[in-house]
Structures are given as C-alpha cells and as structure tokens.
C-alpha cells in the first residue's frame, strides 16, 4: 500500500505505474482518493475548530454560572449543543471517509522498480540467466505420476475418494524423498545463517489483507467457516504477520527466517496435463525464507534470496533458470519479482518451482511494521522466496535424476537424509 501523501504529491507517477501494469480501470481511483482525502482533511479541520470552540464555551459557561448569569449561560449551552451535534456528524463522516480511502489505497498497486520490464502478462517475462546444463537423455522420460507409480510411491485414487481432486497420498521411498528434500532445504538455509521457524498454519483476516491483495486472497485462501481464520497459502503469510504492529530497533535488523509449513490453495480454473498430477494441487509442503530489513538493504537481500534457491537446486543436480517477472505479471504489492524455473527433460522446457519477491514497504505499511533508529521511525521492507516446494519440486528431481534402467540417482548432499541410499529402485 502506498503512502497517501505520496499519491497526493505524485498523482501522475502513480497513474503511469498503473498504466505500466495494464490496469487502466484503476486510473480513476487516483483522483477519487485524492478528492476523498481533501474532504476528510477539511472535515477534520472543521472538527478541530469546533472542539476548540466547544471547550472555550464550556469554560465560559462555568464562569457565568458562578456569577449567577444563568440566561447567558443557557445561551452558551445551546451553542455547545449545536456544535456537539455538528461535531458528531463530522466525526462520523471522517470515519466513513477514512474507510473509503483505505479500501481504495489497498487496490492501487505498489510502485514497481524501474528495472522491471514492461509487459502485459507472464508470456512477456524475461529470462535472466541459466544455471546448469539442461540435458535431454537418449531414453524416454515418463510422466511424473508414472515414475512415482513405478516406485509404488503415489495413490491419487484413494486421495480422490478421501478429499477430492487436487490431493494425493505419497508412499514409501517417494514419501521419504519428499521429506528428505524438505529437511535438506531446512538445513541448507540454517547453514546460510537463517533462523528456523515453524509458524501458525492459520491467520486472521487482518494479517491476510496485510500480506496480499484482495485478488490474490480470493484466488488462493480457504476460510474457516464461522471463524476469523484462514488457512495459509504459504508460510510467508504468518511469518510476516509475526511482526504485525511492532516497532523494531534498527540495530536488530535484518530478521532472516526460514520456515516450514503445509500450504493450502484453491487453485481455481482448469489446467492442462502438465499441471495435473502433483504439479498444481490444493495441499503441499514448503520451505520458505523471509527477510525484514532496512529499505536501503532490500535489493541486496533480494539478490541473495533467489541465489539461495538456485544454489539449492544446483546442489541436487537440477538445472534451473531465473525469469524476471514483467510489470503485468507482478501482484499489486510487489516491487520486483523473479521466478526460479527448473528444467524438465520430459517437456524439454523449464517450469516454475519458486518465486522471489521484494515488496518494499507495502506489507509493512499495512501491518504497521515500523523501525526506530537515529533518524526516527520508518517502515521496514519485507521480502520472501521459496526455498523448495515439493511435491512440485519432486517432478524436476525425478525427471533430472532418472536413469535409463528406471532407477533414480540420489545426489550426494541428499544421501544422509535418505539413510545413505544412493539410488531408488523401482518396484514395478
């Protein structure tokens, strides 16, 4: 969420940013919120004047009553009543205007970084760099569900009966591999200086609206019926929420945290073959990283965060690339974002396995996460990035480590988490 003073002083810049995000339907909101702000400030000024006049009259009434001048005192009481009635109206109007302004400000997109490429949607995202050599083996790579079934590692039919589409049972070595990847990712981030955390898996609505846009909320979140609670779509939500309404000493920054959680997402809409199986599902597990830092440090941390994910995937012998998200593909709160995509030798192309985002002070402003230093108080910057999110990551792992004889090689770094196993042997 932008600073209202910034919008008031830079309306054309805010409008151009909206155009750059191809959200022209939001352009009238800029003038509307500025007009509402003028009305609110005018109402506040009149209310402040009335309070002063009412207090002055109240003191005069006391003095008149002590002198026995009751008629004069009654006339002043009438004036006080009139001013109180007008003041009550203005206070109610101020509150109404404040809510309208807040709702509009939460829909005006954050100012994107100047380095972000201008584009309408994800088809115009820009490849930045490739890491590792994307190979195409001389044998056929089966669909990921078929690979898992060879190891007796997945049961979609039973999951469908129990919970419906978009759920799964992972079994045996595949389930163990899933847990091994999560545990390895946890230790990988701890070794890089991040503090491990297991957060709440449900959050209140004030946290939901603090960490994401209304559009994201509607598309992603499951609400607990009858309660002010939502299942998290990623642990970033509750991890950033941890700092709600806090004042952080400047010398305590940065906070660098890595968190584990299950994640729950609606995943609305129909999807093609490649996004079925365990690619796009309603429930999965994830290792995440978040940073709360000073504004001048946020871009440095942004580069560190996505590099962590790249390094982890490369350590598992999975080629990846980074893809800069264009303006139209950025969620409204984001300043800059890069996707990490893994190589699929079966599809002969890359697919998304994680996303790194710098949100500037947008989340901090909504959640009132402030920093106090020698220069006074200011809003922190927040960032987040996926470390790893199996089972989607398992697709890339199985395809890139599959051998011609049907076995799957276990990279050296993962072997301690798999009981020393060097490969998986198919049961079917």
Q: Using one digit for the tens of pLDDT, what is the confidence trace for 262-295?
A: 999 997 554 454 446 888 899 999 999 999 999 9
- Considering the domain architecture, whether residues 189 and 337 belong to the same structural domain is answered as yes
- Considering the domain architecture, whether residues 97 and 167 belong to the same structural domain is answered as no
- Whether residue 409 lies inside any domain: the answer is yes
From 77, 105, 133, the end of a domain falls on 105
- Considering the domain architecture, whether residues 216 and 364 belong to the same structural domain is answered as yes
- Whether residue 110 lies inside any domain: the answer is no
Q: Using one digit for the tens of pLDDT, what is the confidence trace for 73-101?
A: 788 888 888 888 999 999 999 999 999 99
Using pLDDT thresholds of 50, 70 and 90, give the confidence band for residue 27. Answer: very high
Burial (CB count within 10 angstroms: exposed 0-12, middle 13-18, buried 19+), residue 278: buried
- Whether residue 161 lies inside any domain: the answer is yes
- Considering the domain architecture, whether residues 66 and 206 belong to the same structural domain is answered as no
Which residue range(s) make up the domain with 384?
A: 122-424
- Whether residue 354 lies inside any domain: the answer is yes
From 44, 77, 105, the end of a domain falls on 105
Share of the chain above pLDDT 90, in %: 83
Q: Using one digit for the tens of pLDDT, what is the confidence trace for 36-64?
A: 999 999 999 999 999 898 888 888 887 87
| Average pLDDT value for the chain | 93
**What pTM value is reported for the model?**
0.90
Contact 427, 150 (CB under 8 A): yes
Q: Which helix (H) or strand (E) holds 12?
A: helix 11-20
- Considering the domain architecture, whether residues 382 and 288 belong to the same structural domain is answered as yes
List the CATH number of the domain containing 296: 3.30.930.10
Contact 321, 341 (CB under 8 A): yes
- Considering the domain architecture, whether residues 97 and 153 belong to the same structural domain is answered as no
- Considering the domain architecture, whether residues 91 and 189 belong to the same structural domain is answered as no
Q: If you count DSSP H runs as helices and E runs as strands, how many of each does the chain have, helices first?
A: 13, 18
Identify the pLDDT of residue 189.
Answer: 98
From 63, 78, 105, the end of a domain falls on 105
Identify the pLDDT of residue 428.
Answer: 61
**Mean pLDDT (whole number) for 124-145:** 95
- Whether residue 30 lies inside any domain: the answer is yes
Q: Using one digit for the tens of pLDDT, what is the confidence trace for 154-171?
A: 999 999 999 998 899 999
Count of structural domains, the chain:
2
CA distance 264 to 389: 12
- Considering the domain architecture, whether residues 290 and 332 belong to the same structural domain is answered as yes
Contacts of residue 88, Cβ cutoff 8 Å, sequence gap at least 6: none
Q: Using one digit for the tens of pLDDT, what is the confidence trace for 307-343?
A: 999 999 999 999 999 999 999 999 999 999 999 999 9
* Paired residues of 287 in beta bridges: 260, 388
Q: Which helix (H) or strand (E) holds 141?
A: none
How is residue 314 written in tokens? 């490369």
- Whether residue 220 lies inside any domain: the answer is yes
- Considering the domain architecture, whether residues 280 and 153 belong to the same structural domain is answered as yes
* Paired residues of 246 in beta bridges: 369
Contact 383, 357 (CB under 8 A): yes
- Whether residue 251 lies inside any domain: the answer is yes
List the CATH number of the domain containing 41: 1.10.287.40
- Considering the domain architecture, whether residues 309 and 377 belong to the same structural domain is answered as yes
- Considering the domain architecture, whether residues 288 and 379 belong to the same structural domain is answered as yes
Identify the pLDDT of residue 268.
Answer: 59
- Considering the domain architecture, whether residues 100 and 149 belong to the same structural domain is answered as no
User: Regarding predicted confidence, which is higher, 65 or 317?
Assistant: 317
Identify the pLDDT of residue 273.
Answer: 45
């Amino acid at each position: 969420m932008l600073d209202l003073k910034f919008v008031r002083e830079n309306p054309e810049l805010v409008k151009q940013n909206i155009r750059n995000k191809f959200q022209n339907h939001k352009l009238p909101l800029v003038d509307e919120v500025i007009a509402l702000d003028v009305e609110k400030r005018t109402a506040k000024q009149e209310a402040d004047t009335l309070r002063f006049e009412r207090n002055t009259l109240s003191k005069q009434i006391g003095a008149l009553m002590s002198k026995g001048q009751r008629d004069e005192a009654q006339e002043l009481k009438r004036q006080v009543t009139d001013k109180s009635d007008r003041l009550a109206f203005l206070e109610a109007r101020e509150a109404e205007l404040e809510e309208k302004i807040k709702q509009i400000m939460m829909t005006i997109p954050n100012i994107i970084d100047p380095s972000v490429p201008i584009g309408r949607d994800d088809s115009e995202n820009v490849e930045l760099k490739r890491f590792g050599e994307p190979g195409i083996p001389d044998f056929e790579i089966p669909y990921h569900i078929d690979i898992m079934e060879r190891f007796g590692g997945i049961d979609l039919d039973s999951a469908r009966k129990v919970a419906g589409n978009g759920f799964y049972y992972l079994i045996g070595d595949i389930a163990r591999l899933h847990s091994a990847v999560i545990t390895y990712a946890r230790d990988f981030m701890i070794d890089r200086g991040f503090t491990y955390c297991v957060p709440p898996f449900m959050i209140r609505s004030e946290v939901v609206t603090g960490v994401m846009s209304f559009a994201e909320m509607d598309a992603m979140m499951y609400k607990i019926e009858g309660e002010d609670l939502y299942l998290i779509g990623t642990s970033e939500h509750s991890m950033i929420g941890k700092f709600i309404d806090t004042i952080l000493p400047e010398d305590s920054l940065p906070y660098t945290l890595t968190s584990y959680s299950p994640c729950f997402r609606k995943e609305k809409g129909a999807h093609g073959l490649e996004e079925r199986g365990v690619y796009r599902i309603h429930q999965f597990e994830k290792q995440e990283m978040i940073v709360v830092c000073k504004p001048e440090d946020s871009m440095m941390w942004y580069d560190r965060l996505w590099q962590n994910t790249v390094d982890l995937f490369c350590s598992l012998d999975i080629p990846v690339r980074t893809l800069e998200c264009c303006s139209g593909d950025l969620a409204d709160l984001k300043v800059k974002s890069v996707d990490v995509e893994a190589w699929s030798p079966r599809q002969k192309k890359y697919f998304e396995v994680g996303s790194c985002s710098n949100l500037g002070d947008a989340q901090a402003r909504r959640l009132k996460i402030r920093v106090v230093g020698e220069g006074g108080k200011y809003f922190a910057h927040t960032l987040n990035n996926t470390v790893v999110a199996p089972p989607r990551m398992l697709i890339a792992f199985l395809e890139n480590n599959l051998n011609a004889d049907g076995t799957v090689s276990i990279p050296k770094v993962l072997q301690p988490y798999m009981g020393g196993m060097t490969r998986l042997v198919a049961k079917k």
